[in-house]
Amino acid sequence: MGLLNIFESGVSVQTTPVIEQYIRIKANHQDSLLFFRMGDFYELFFEDAVLASGILNIILTKRGKYKDKDIPMCGVPHHSAESYIKNLLENGCKIAICEQMETPKEAKKRGYKSIVNRDVVRVISPGTLLE
């Protein structure tokens, strides 16, 4: 990961719990663009966002900071994600779909500051047949 190298070993960085969760999940799917479910959107961060925004011609914005640098971010509505995913696959990208495994209300039952559990439920490569 060139721009921010989010996987440097031995580096402790203060960031938000959601970005920490993203980095943990992304570490297991470094060869894929991580579609990270945040409510009604799939959001992409760091280099994934830069690459996807260029291919999809969507706005690249930022969400917070990591190692004193802005975190690039882009997103697509979950209800129309299929067309964006198809476009990325046609451009040779591999996609990891990371869904919310519980509701925010369920997360709050585990504690006031608990964040929603998320996990990758599907990995799609350019050779995958889509329905």
- 5-64 residue pLDDT tens: 555 554 456 778 899 999 999 999 999 999 999 999 999 999 999 999 999 999 999 988
How far is C-alpha 101 from the geometric centre of its chain's CA atoms? 15
> What DSSP assignment string belongs to 6-70?
TT-TT------HHHHHHHHHHHT-TTSEEEEEETTEEEEEHHHHHHHHHHHT---EEEEEETTEE
pTM of the model: 0.86
Q: How far apart are CA 51 and CA 31, in angstroms?
A: 13
**Domains of the chain: residue spans and CATH:** 17-124 (3.40.1170.10)
Confidence band, pLDDT 50/70/90 cuts, at residue 113: confident
Q: Output DSSP code: residue 80.
A: G
pLDDT value at residue 118: 95
